[in-house]
Amino acid sequence: MSTDPHPFSTATRLVQAGLHRSGFAETAEALFLTSGFVYESAEEAAATFEGKLERYQYSRFGNPTVRMFEERLAAIEGLEACRATASGMAAVHAALVSALKAGDRVVASRALFGSCHWIVAQLLPRFGVETEFVDGTDLAGWARALARPARLVLLETPSNPMLEILDLPAICDLAHRAGARVIVDNVFATPLLQRPAEFGADIVVYSATKHIDGQGRVLGGAILADGAWLKEVVEPFLRNTGAALSPFNAWVLLKGLETMALRLEAAQERAARIADFLADQKGVARVWYPWRADHPQHELARRQMKGGGTLVTFALAGGREAAFAFMNRLRLIRISNNLGDSKSLITHPASTTHSRIGAEERARLGIEEGVVRLSVGLEAAEDLIADLGQALAAA
Ligand SMILES: *Cc1c(COP(=O)(O)O)cnc(C)c1O
């Protein structure tokens, strides 16, 4: 039995969409921790492999718990279909590679998550794909790059770690005129704060590891798009290359979705307060938070997003030395490159997540030595502010 989620609001979909109960009529989503499925007869197996019968065969192809996660996320995103993957990078990789062949062109914004940048800069050119990076906030740059035909456009908004906001309607329009489909890595916004398809994007990818789990437990990813494209292009690639999401992880992520709106709202409220607090501190040179009026793309953020999110980026006036001293003095907020956790986490991008891209590329992206990225969790705002305050005073 399945519930039809579509008449309901997002809050209801987060809890009920995609729920398929087994014959035992369990309340919570069942965890089908099985690699394979059995057939009643040899004929049934043969008919399944001929494609005459649609049923579960093997968990690399599909699994009921994974299916529930895919249906729930699709219902929240408002896109037709979803395929879950083992990690966010498996989702980005599959969305790109499944649609590309030698001779194709890919245009991407420069401010990408480190591994996404590596796929575009290093991996794709090895297979004869031409790739070009543009400054994501420069529409003239997009127009120049998309004056020639392209197969795909990949971008991230808000970007990691500088929280740049990219103009989705304008970029999607330029991309479509160049014959390209647009893939948006929507990890920082989540489907609750931004639905890229409403602004023209064709494909949305997630690292479910972040806010969807939201409690730092499992890796997972997802690709959302129209059903035909997913079935024809992405599905054969995923079935045969094996980046399948574990049913256990899918179950954790399903339960994560149930509380995502509550967690996100609470963490976002703390993040906004913390951004304002930091902006007033001596020793903090600059704060980037999309909901603050001093954010360079503030107006655009207000048009495209429903909230400022849970990440706050700021620069310490004293460069790397001050940033390290400050981070080392934090007691409650821990140093980690992960984000979207209920625990607040801080990272120094220039020496960790963005160390490999080199100083020149970091300079182009504005990732200075004093920049730190804070992922705000669910601890009390007063405690987080006190921790930041004492570490700043000491640094
Ligand atoms: C974490 C992240 C990824 C990669 O996801 P994994 O689940 O770690 O593979 C991709 N893009 C963004 C923006 C991310 O934050």
Residue-wise pLDDT for 26-48, tens only, equals 999 999 999 999 999 999 999 99
Q: What phi and psi values does residue 338 have, to the nearest 5 degrees?
A: -75, 170
6 pLDDT band, cuts 50/70/90, is: low
- Residue 275 · residue 287 · CB < 8 Å: yes
Q: Where does ligand 1 bind, in terms of residues with CB under 6 Å? A: 87-89, 92, 113, 116, 156, 160, 185, 187, 207, 209-210, 219, 221
Q: Give pLDDT, residue 1.
A: 37
280 pLDDT more than 90:
yes
Whole-number pLDDT of residue 7: 75
CA of 380 from ligand 1 middle (Å) equals 26
Q: For 187-221, what is each residue's pLDDT tens digit? A: 999 999 999 999 999 999 999 999 999 999 999 99
Q: 284 with 315: CB under 8 angstroms?
A: yes
Q: What is the pLDDT of residue 3?
A: 45
Per-residue CA distances from 230 to 95, 225, 237, 239 (Å): 9, 6, 10, 12
Domains by residue range for the chain, with CATH: 10-256 (3.40.640.10), 261-394 (3.90.1150.10)
**CA 18 to mean position of chain CA atoms:** 21
Tokens encoding 267: 């963490």
pTM for the predicted model, two decimal places: 0.96
33 alpha carbon – ligand 1 mean position (Å): 25
Q: Is the pLDDT of residue 153 over 60?
A: yes
Mean pLDDT score, 315-319:
96
CA distance 219 to 216: 9
Distance 22 CA to ligand 1 centre (A): 33
**Confidence label for 176 from pLDDT (cuts 50, 70 and 90):** very high
Q: Are 391 and 344 in contact (CB under 8 A)?
A: no
Position 155: which residue type? L
Four-point Cα dihedral 294, 296, 299, 301, nearest 10: -100
State the pairing for strand pair 152-156/130-134.
Answer: unpaired
pLDDT band at 357 (very low <50, low <70, confident <90, very high): confident
